[in-house]
Structure 1
Amino acid sequence: MDISHIHNLFLKSTGVSIDTRKIEKNSMFVAIKGDRFDANTFAQEALEKGASSVIIDNKDYYIDDRTVLVGDSLVTLQELAKFHRNYLKLPIIALTGSNGKTTTKELINVVLAKKFKTKATVGNLNNHIGVPLTLLSFNKETEIGIVEMGANHQKEIEFLCEIAQPDYGYITNFGKAHLEGFGGVEGVIKGKSEMYQYLAKNDKLAFINLEDSIQLEKSKILKHYSFGVNRENADVVIADIKANPFVEIQFDSLQIKTHLIGLYNANNVNAALTIGKFFVVDNEAIKAALESYVPENNRSQLLTKGSNEIILDAYNANPSSMAVAIANFLQLEKLNKIMILGDMFELGSESQQEHKALVDSLKEETKVQCYFVGKAFYECQFSKENFHFYESFDSFSVGLKDVNFDNNIMLIKGSRGMALERTLEFIK
């Protein structure tokens, strides 16, 4: 069926759903096959729950004229999103990177929302399904769209850019994330840089962090708007940054005090500030937006339990984000430090090397109690008075009974699959 006809059905609906558990009245249900299910089988249920139309790609589940049969439901969702993006013709900012994508996206959104009607990716719906759903959440009232793009293989960012067709792009960094899929650090740089290639090919603008050597080099071939710390050649000059533990930024005559922990979050703040300046948001409004943002969902949260301060950063971890989180934690002017570090996933053949490198980097630290949790860290174990290794969270939870949780500052960080936020249950 012609995509314009499907788009007309979409415009008459209340939005797109791919989950019958979340069907809204008069919504459009798109039946996408999963690894363990065929959503075509839910077409009837979607209509019974109030969907106005259903998109299916298996003729055996055709019901009536409310059913639209297509060759591939996922491809149709992606084509519909691209068609809708061109229909709206609104400016779109896309961002990707190894670390800090979601936090940066949220910061950009709160800053630009001070002047514009913005919509941004919800949560981390940033893949080949999430990006189309984000685009389809934009409407005629949306003045700026903000699209987060995630990837763990080559050509994914290129594909997502072809769908979203961003006018502006930002890459947070090039770190050691998804090394297994990308094929090493060089593969990460190549994969993330697909956004730069799209921007250059289409004469679009990139936001550039001049503190990043890779971005600095790429800026030579891109139309760009830049930021840097005390760099006179930057479009936005940041005077000073510090974090003890919260990030503070000195910009012009403004002192911006955020609720974000760690120097590794400074560039996320600087990027949002810079994009706000590009879109001529008032300085005081930028300050108010950045100071009002409070992280959640286990992302660099500062919590208090009893007499303990806890930096909970258990949403994700890779060698790059782990290194900067640890470095920031060690420089804090606090006594009684405890680090609870969980395995880093998706590192492929480099997993053992990266986990061992992280453990080795802490060998000289004698005043911090270090708890390493997970099979990868367990294989790196050796005897050191302040080092403790556990093969699983279950064995760690038993060991927690012997930990003194009084007047400590703690860093809890690991990959999502480790779910280290469970540690909080053992802290009275």
Structure 2
Amino acid sequence: MNTEQFYPLFLQAEKVTIDSRKVGKNDIFFAFSGDNFNAATLAGQAIDNGALAVIVEQEEFENKLKNIFYVPSTLDFLQDLAIYHRKQLQIPIIGLTGSNGKTTTKEIIHAVLSEKFHVQYTSGNLNNHIGVPLTLLSIRPEHDMAVVEMGANHQKEIGLLCSIAQPDFGYITNFGKAHLEGFGGFEGVIKGKSELYDYLKNNGKTILINENDPVQVEKTGSYSPKITFGKEQSDYQFELFSEENFVGLIYECRKAVSKLTGEYNFTNLCAAASLGLHFGIGFDKIKHAIENYTPTNMRSQIVKKEGKILVLDTYNANPSSMTASLHNFITFDGSKTIIIGDMLELGDESEKEHQTLLKLAEELSFEQIITVGKNFKSVNHSSLSFEDTTALIEYLKANKIQSENVLLKGSRGIALEKSIDFI
């Protein structure tokens, strides 16, 4: 079985899934196997439940009469099928990566472009070597374009994802201190994320550039074609403004205010607006998209609860995003408590970065500082500190936070959002 032979069957499918629990009628199920599971054992059941076809990597489970096909590697076949499908598509694809703000930027870009086009985009955080192929395979004839988020924690990962997605446009949100352990330090982050630039340059594709970011400017140089924003001489110029803790932008004397908090989201809005303008979307529609986008994914999300303002940013954390969050939160009116969780995947830099962040929190003089996680606990000798979120919840059950504003910010593995009901 090769991708060209299988492709006509794929075109008949409703969707492609790797989750046996989500197999529906006319779906294609890729039965991945691992150290503790073998989804190929569920192949027959998937067919009985209405699956159109199943891909397995154990030959003994193959049954061509039931459309259960053996391949040496389900992952390789998934990626190859996505590449083959990508080559058939005649629509522009926008590739997106960066240390911070990828998902929020993707969501806003989708909202803006959807004012004029039928846009497919990465669902949730399906942005890795499995998620990107699944995103591509979800693109159908009715779609006019797609936005593909690409994540990485090692060098050469973005290069691989670019070879699969083959973007026509690309944007790097920023270069921050994220996944330092895997990338081998901050310079490794820059090199790894810039693999998107390498692909776009080598293939004559268009780069979207924030000209206020010196790294983006340095890495792209005089390259063309490009779309630029940020400077007076850029293609598009926007002004920052904020309104009741929400960030917005001004374009040609017209305002659009989002439901996002933090000046760090300004460039995310600018990127989306720039792409909208480039694709011929009027600012009135861009304004409509920005003002109606409501974050629900625990990223820069504001929730009002029992007279308090909660800022939920619990999906990811690294020194760059944590610093920006604290500086933004200190500008809120009224008393403020921060609940900050460990920043993971920092390697040898972990202790120093947690110390630096805690020192910043103390200098900003929040009414209360609460840390969660073993890394913060090892360096926190003056504030409330808990080893995990479960311990935090037990404390919150008996001790109500008095502050008017509460920030929750931490890495995904800390799961600070579990404490929301107890604040």
User: Shorter-chain TM-score category?
Assistant: over 0.9
Deviations 1:296-330 (A, max 9, x none): 12122111221211111111111111000000011
Indicate if the aligned counterparts of 1:199 and 1:222 stay in contact, CA closer than 8 A.
Answer: no
Q: Given that residues 205 and 222 in structure 1 are in contact (C-alpha distance below 8 angstroms), is that contact kept between their aligned partners in structure 2?
A: no
Please state whether the residue corresponding to 1:77 is helix, strand or coil.
Answer: helix
CA distance in 1, matches of 2:151, 2:365: 38
8 Å contact from structure 1 (residues 243, 261) kept in 2: no
Q: SS state of the match for residue 317, structure 1?
A: coil
CA distance in 1, matches of 2:127, 2:247: 26
Task: Report if the CA contact (8 A) 2:351-2:375 is conserved.
Answer: yes
Task: Give the aligned length.
Answer: 421
CA distance in 2, matches of 1:313, 1:348: 22
What CA deviation, in whole Å up to 9, does each residue of 1:2-52 have, x standing for no partner?
311111110122221212211111111112223421222221111111111
> Which residue of the partner structure matches residue 228 of structure 2?
226
Amino acid across the alignment from 2:264: Y
Structure 1, residues 73-132: CA drift from partner, whole Å, max 9, x if none?
A: 110110100110111221100100111111110100010011111100111100111000
Secondary structure at the counterpart of residue 241 of structure 2: strand
Q: Aligned pair 1:74/2:50, yes or no?
A: no
Task: Classify the secondary structure of the residue corresponding to 2:24.
Answer: coil
Instruction: Answer whether contact 2:337 2:403 (CA < 8 A) is retained.
Output: no
Aligned ranges 1:386-401 → 2 under 5 Å? 387-401=383-397
1:27-426 pair list within 5 angstroms: 27-65=27-65, 66-223=67-224, 224-228=226-230, 231-242=231-242, 244-332=244-332, 334-383=333-382, 387-401=383-397, 403-406=399-402, 408-426=404-422
Identity within the alignment, %: 47
Instruction: Indicate conservation of the 8 Å contact 2:175/2:193, yes or no.
Output: yes
Normalising by structure 2, we get a TM-score of: 0.96
Distance 1:336 1:16, change over 3 A: same
Amino acid of the residue matched to residue 87 of structure 1? Q
CA-based RMSD of the aligned residues comes to: 1.4
Whether the aligned pair in 2 keeps the contact of 1:307 and 1:407 (CA below 8 Å) is no
Contact 2:99-2:175 at 8 Å conserved across structures: yes
Q: Determine if contact 1:243/1:263 at 8 Å carries over to the other structure.
A: no
Cα distance change, pair 26–362 in 1 and its aligned pair in 2 (3 A): closer
Tell me the amino acid that sits aligned with residue 340 of structure 1: I
| Secondary structure, counterpart of 1:211 in structure 2 | coil
Q: How far has the Cα of 1:401 moved from its partner?
A: 4.7
The TM-score, its normalising length taken from structure 1, stands at: 0.95
2:115 alignment partner, SS class? coil
Please report how far the alpha carbon of residue 350 of structure 1 lies from its aligned counterpart in structure 2 after TM superposition: 1.1
C-alpha distance in 2 between matches for 1:288 and 1:91 = 23
SS at match of 2:237: strand
Q: 1:78 to 1:221 in 2, by over 3 A?
A: farther
**Matches of 1:278 and 1:347, distance apart in 2:** 37
Between the aligned partners of 1:181 and 1:417, the Cα distance in structure 2 is 17
5+ residue gaps, structure 2, are none
> Is the 8 Å Cα contact of residues 240 and 266 (structure 2) preserved in structure 1?
no
